[in-house]
Amino acid sequence: MKKVSFFLVTCLFICLSASLAFGQLALKAGHVLAPDHPYQFGLERFAELVKERTNGQITVDAFHSSQLGNERELIEALQLGTVDITIVSTAPLSGFTNEFLIYDLPFLFRDTATARRILDSPFGQKAFDSISDLGLVGLVYFENGFRHVTNSKLPAVNPADVNGLKIRTMENKIHMASFRVLGASPTPMAFGELYTALQQKTIDAEENPVPIIYTSKFYEVQKYCSLTGHFYAPTPFLISAATWERLTDDQKAIMTQAAKEARDYERELIDQQNNDFVAKLKAEGMEVIEVDKDAWFKAMEPVYKEFESTIGADNIKEIQALINAGK
Ligand code: EAX
């Protein structure tokens, strides 16, 4: 028996030293959404491409459902280098920098094509250029998408219908202000705590895109879904600067190209789920309500003035000009 275990230990040691000798990297990627959400499939596609193009030198394991922490903790873990990659909504990044806040303005984008065009342009790159001193490297923008209000109390058609509702928001001051101005009571909360809070009715409402409402089974604890589309949530694909610096230039180029291809794939899946999952929500008993988006925008519009100095009036003018240029 002793001979066998000595043999196994020796083999293990040889494999380990060989992998270190050849600079093999086993990277960890974390996110908070369900295993059947496009976040997971997009990261798995990224991992396949990177492993294939580095001949197995770099592997990436994607951990879903907040296994490696909530979004704020994941960003902190990248800064520490204890997690290598994360994909998060821009909203929680407001706890680290104001550079992404502009994307959290209500009804900034009105359609997906415009959002993607601007995020993939030099304007979208600006925010990535600003985070190197935070220990973060941004490669591309995956997509979370247009967010809708769900609640357990009433079919909310007009903005005034959310007056008095306790609504969970992401940890983001613009999101909170946008619902406060409607008379709702915003409660910032990590995504991992949300289902239980809805189930225990400590909150009445939340807001998320259709793919999340379905894949996180919010239809089990929310009766009404109002298709407000009030925020478009981009999803920066972030790598720890400590990890990035360990890569060769060739590996950085492979990772960047793989992230672009995985982004396009993830966005395709988001489009599919946005198209297919409204019917599934209805089949699960949710009442899905169409609303007058302009009325919701008018009601939330005061937050533009409130945050103009924080975001920069010129920045807002610049992105609105880019949006209108594409019309
Ligand atoms: O980024 O917290 C949320 O509602 C986000 O949609 C989620 O974390 C995905």
Average of pLDDT values for 166-184? 98
pLDDT of 326 reads 76
The residue whose CA is least distant from atom 9 of ligand 1 is 89
How many C-beta neighbours within 10 Å does residue 212 have?
Answer: 27
CA–CA separation, 4 and 10 (whole Å): 10
- Over the stretch 36-86, which tens digit does the pLDDT of each residue have? 999 999 999 999 999 999 999 999 999 999 999 999 999 999 999 999 999
Element (H, E) at 25: strand 25-30
What's the gap in Å between 121 CA and the centre of ligand 1?
24
Q: Mean pLDDT, to the nearest integer, of 79-99? A: 97
What one-character-per-residue DSSP string does 225-280 give?
Answer: EEEEEEEEEEEEEEEEHHHHTTS-HHHHHHHHHHHHHHHHHHHHHHHHHHHHHHHH
% of the chain exceeding 90 in pLDDT: 92
Overall average pLDDT of the 132-139 stretch: 96
Residue 182 banded pLDDT, cuts 50, 70, 90: very high
Atom of ligand 1 nearest to the CA of 191: 2
The mean pLDDT of 146-161, rounded to a whole number, is: 98
Question: What domains sit in the chain, N to C, each tagged with a CATH number?
Answer: 24-325 (3.40.190.170)
Q: Which pLDDT does position 23 carry in this prediction?
A: 76
Q: Is 208 in the pocket of ligand 1 (CB under 6 A)?
A: yes
> Measured on CA atoms in the order 212, 299, 116, 316, is the torsion positive or negative?
negative
Instruction: Give the sign of the dihedral formed by CA 167, CA 288, CA 146, CA 322.
Output: negative
Confidence of residue 9 (pLDDT cuts 50, 70, 90): low
Residue 191 CA, ligand 1 centroid: distance in Å: 6
Measure the CA–CA gap between 53 and 40, rounded to whole angstroms: 20
Whole-number CA gyration radius for the chain: 21
The pLDDT value recorded for residue 153 is 98
Tell me, using a 6 A CB cutoff, whether residue 89 lines ligand 1: yes
Mean pLDDT of all residues in the chain?
Answer: 95
The answer to whether 256 touches 49, Cβ cutoff 8 Å, is no
Sequence-ordered list of residues with C-beta below 8 angstroms from that of 44, at least 6 positions apart, any chain: 62
Contact 151, 223 (CB under 8 A): yes
Q: Counting atoms of ligand 1 from 1, which one is nearest the CA of 33?
A: 9
Q: What is the pLDDT of residues 101-117, one digit of tens each?
A: 999 999 999 999 999 99
| Per-residue model confidence (pLDDT) at position 198 | 98
In terms of Cβ atoms closer than 10 Å to its own Cβ (0-12, 13-18, 19+), residue 71 is buried
The Cα 200–Cα 212 span in angstroms is 19
Confidence of residue 3 (pLDDT cuts 50, 70, 90): low
Say what the alpha-carbon torsion angle 240, 244, 52, 8 is, to the nearest 10 degrees: -80
Give distance in angstroms: CA of 51 to centre of ligand 1. 28
Among the listed residues 106, 135, 92, 98, the one whose alpha carbon sits nearest the alpha carbon of residue 236: 92
